[in-house]
Amino acid sequence: MKPTTTSADWIARSLRSVWHPCTQMQHHEEVPLIAVSHAKGPWLYDHEGQRYLDGISSWWVNLFGHANPRINAALKDQLDKLEHAMLAGFTHEPVIELSEQLAALTGQQLGHAFYASDGASAVEIALKMSFHYWRNAGHADKQEFVCLQGSYHGETVGALGVTDVALFKDAYGPLLRAARTVTSPDARNAVDGESAQDVALRAAKDVEALFAERADKIAAIIVEPLVQCATGMAMHDPLYLQRLRELCDKYHVHLIADEIAVGCGRTGTFFACEQAAIWPDFMCLSKGISGGYLPLSLVLTTDKVYEGFYSEDITRGFLHSHSYTGNALACRAALATLQIFRDDDVLNKNRETATRLMLELAPLLDHKCVTHFRQRGMILAFDAVEPDTQRASTFARRFFTSAVENELLLRPIGRTVYLMPPYVLDEEEIVGLAARTRKVFEKVIAE
Ligand SMILES: Cc1ncc(COP(=O)(O)O)c(C=O)c1O
């Protein structure tokens, strides 16, 4: 009989051959690697059957649970029809239907979809399209990009140029084309009794000053609407987005909404921008759009931008491509995902789930080591008060390890603990997730 391969075997082999992302590999001498054997709903299982509640949706991608029967069925059906065909010179049903459905979700404001695979590629596309649009329009001087303090738009060289997270960016500084950075509207920056709206308006003034000075050189400003996730779930008031839209219109600067993490219902509306009642010139989507199944990203844009490239002259066209652009399987997973949104009244159900989670986490509100308890849709976060810098620097790792011991997958960002679970938690899972989060926090803060 073939001996069963244990988690320990897989882990040893992985550490020898797989270079894991966003990881100082030496940390795995202390922090356990987990070998996932299979997954179902919000649960990941290792080879011994030990389970972990995926409290961060496997890096914010999974919406309707792992091995979702409806997405699985759609993919199995698609697999027998067409797995992939190149999208230059060819087209197919899943990519057409997905583009049409997304355009409809924007009320036809963003009626043209350009596809890629990962989030960072979508960001690259939006940046290049904006620059090229202005060049085609006779404004070749508009070459600069503006991003927000604490912004995160991905790890490729262009996306890192508009990212402001020192840990990811600094080592590559000499490679990057620096963007201009404006004040973050993070509501935690409130001073002297300011409201979140006051902070938003103050931050927008910074944008206005920059635009007034050099809008003729600026192609676009890129923003993560409502929640800057990777910097630590920094949340801002929708008023900021309204002001950005006004300023972009006034000064002829493109607005790029990076909804890679916050789109697909994560903040309570399908698109985060809806809460500000605005549409950007470019919207980047990825992560949840395929239900967390397959790498799929896209940029939605306006008729105006599309027409700026439409010409007899090939060089005025957008000559960008990726081999897997518009992959049929990934698009079919996205169609199944959108169907679930329509069938299951997802946004309303999420409102109930988020309210229940808040209620169950409420005891933390008065905890002396908790500050800035906050929530937007299906993102809940709080910051640990940890004055000892040595302990603060290890907080995230210690929390992760303790969470794993309590059947949870949670990865704090610095001292920010957050929950961003799949949309399929039942009552027992909601109560369990909140109770264990509290238990882990109490333990780690008291260590
Ligand atoms: C807002 C935002 N933009 C871009 C990205 C990059 O996406 P990917 O990791 O798929 O390249 C991320 C990933 O976390 C993100 O949160």
Q: What is the pLDDT of residues 413-432, one digit of tens each?
A: 999 999 999 999 999 999 99
Closest CA to 422 of 55, 50, 73: 55
Q: Which has the minimum average pLDDT: 36-40, 279-283, 332-336, 393-397?
A: 393-397
The residue range of the domain holding 369 is 7-67+345-446
Could you tell me if the CB of 230 is within 6 A of ligand 1?
A: yes
432 labelled ligand-binding? no
Closest CA to 285 of 224, 376, 354, 375: 224
323 labelled ligand-binding? yes
How is the chain split among helix, strand and coil, in percent rounded to 5? 45, 15, 40
Ligand 1 geometric centre to CA of 380 (Å):
19
Q: Are residues 321 and 180 in the same domain?
A: yes
Long-range contacts of 138-144 (CB under 8 A, 24+ apart): 139/216, 141/216, 141/217, 142/216, 142/217, 142/218, 142/219, 142/253, 143/217, 143/219, 144/179, 144/180, 144/214, 144/217, 144/218, 144/219
Tell me the mean pLDDT in the region 237-248: 98
* Nearby residues of 358 by Cβ (< 8 Å), 6 or more positions away: 375, 380
In a domain? residue 2: no
Q: Tell me the three state secondary structure of residue 410.
A: coil
Q: Which atom of ligand 1 is nearest to the CA of 118?
A: 10
User: Does residue 4 register a pLDDT over 90?
Assistant: no
Ligand 1 geometric centre to CA of 41 (Å):
23
What pLDDT digit, counting tens, does each position of 249-268 carry?
Answer: 999 999 999 999 999 999 99
Q: Are residues 128 and 36 in the same domain?
A: no
In a domain? residue 396: yes
Please list the alpha-helical segments (H only) found in 275-421: 303-307, 328-344, 346-361, 389-405
In a domain? residue 119: yes
pLDDT of residue 31: 87
* Nearby residues of 147 by Cβ (< 8 Å), 6 or more positions away: 153, 162, 163, 164, 179, 180, 181, 182, 221, 222, 223
Tell me the mean pLDDT in the region 304-322: 97
Tell me the mean pLDDT in the region 341-350: 98
The 10 Å Cβ neighbour count of residue 42 is 25
pLDDT of residue 86: 98
Task: Compute φ and ψ for 51, nearest 5 degrees.
Answer: -115, 155
User: Does residue 341 register a pLDDT over 90?
Assistant: yes
Ligand 1 geometric centre to CA of 177 (Å):
19
Tell me the mean pLDDT in the region 330-335: 98
402 labelled ligand-binding? no
Could you tell me if the CB of 337 is within 6 A of ligand 1?
A: no
Q: How confident is residue 3, by pLDDT bands cut at 50, 70 and 90?
A: low
Q: Which two tokens stand for residue 71?
A: 């997405």
In a domain? residue 384: yes
pLDDT of residue 32: 84
Tell me the mean pLDDT in the region 213-241: 98
Q: Are residues 78 and 135 in the same domain?
A: yes
Could you tell me if 281 and 300 are in contact, meaning their C-beta atoms sit under 8 angstroms apart?
no
Could you tell me if the CB of 268 is within 6 A of ligand 1?
A: no
Tell me the mean pLDDT in the region 21-50: 95
What pLDDT digit, counting tens, does each position of 354-401 carry?
Answer: 999 999 999 999 999 999 999 999 999 999 998 888 899 999 999 999
Q: Which of the listed residues 343, 371, 387 is the one where a domain comes to its end?
A: 343
pTM (whole model) above 0.95 = yes
In a domain? residue 1: no
Pairing of strands 416-419, 112-116: unpaired
Q: Which two tokens stand for residue 105?
A: 């979700």
| Gap between the Cα atoms of 165 and 172, Å rounded | 12
Domains identified in the chain, total number:
2
Q: Are residues 100 and 33 in the same domain?
A: no
Tell me the mean pLDDT in the region 191-214: 97
Q: Which of the listed residues 343, 376, 407 is the one where a domain comes to its end?
A: 343
| Gap between the Cα atoms of 279 and 135, Å rounded | 23
Ligand 1 geometric centre to CA of 313 (Å):
33
Domain of residue 373, CATH code: 3.90.1150.10
pLDDT of residue 387: 84
Tell me the mean pLDDT in the region 225-230: 98
In a domain? residue 177: yes
Q: Are residues 249 and 135 in the same domain?
A: yes
Q: Are residues 90 and 213 in the same domain?
A: yes
Q: Are residues 123 and 206 in the same domain?
A: yes
Tell me the mean pLDDT in the region 429-445: 97
Q: Which of the listed residues 296, 320, 343 is the one where a domain comes to its end?
A: 343
Q: Which atom of ligand 1 is nearest to the CA of 286?
A: 10
In a domain? residue 217: yes
User: Does residue 1 register a pLDDT over 80?
Assistant: no
Ligand 1 geometric centre to CA of 191 (Å):
30
Q: Are residues 90 and 144 in the same domain?
A: yes
Q: Are residues 207 and 122 in the same domain?
A: yes
152 labelled ligand-binding? yes
pLDDT of residue 2: 63
What pLDDT digit, counting tens, does each position of 165-191 carry?
Answer: 999 999 999 999 999 999 999 999 999
Residue nearest to atom 4 of ligand 1 (CA): 153
In which element (H, E) is residue 9 found? helix 7-17
**Cα distance from N-terminal residue to C-terminal residue, the chain:** 46
Could you tell me if the CB of 54 is within 6 A of ligand 1?
A: no
Q: Are residues 33 and 55 in the same domain?
A: yes
Q: Are residues 280 and 417 in the same domain?
A: no
Domain of residue 133, CATH code: 3.40.640.10
Long-range contacts of 193-201 (CB under 8 A, 24+ apart): 195/237, 196/235, 196/236, 196/237, 197/237, 197/239, 199/236, 199/237, 200/236, 200/237, 200/239, 200/240, 200/243, 201/239, 201/240, 201/243
Q: Are residues 282 and 418 in the same domain?
A: no
For the chain, the farthest-separated pair of C-alpha atoms sits apart, in whole angstroms, at 74
What is the four-CA torsion angle of 407, 413, 417, 422, rounded to 10 degrees? -60
Mean pLDDT computed over every residue of the chain: 97
- Location of structure tokens 């698009």: 331
Ligand 1 geometric centre to CA of 162 (Å):
12
Across 204-224, b (16+ Cβ under 10 Å) vs e yields bebbbebbeebbeebbbbbbb
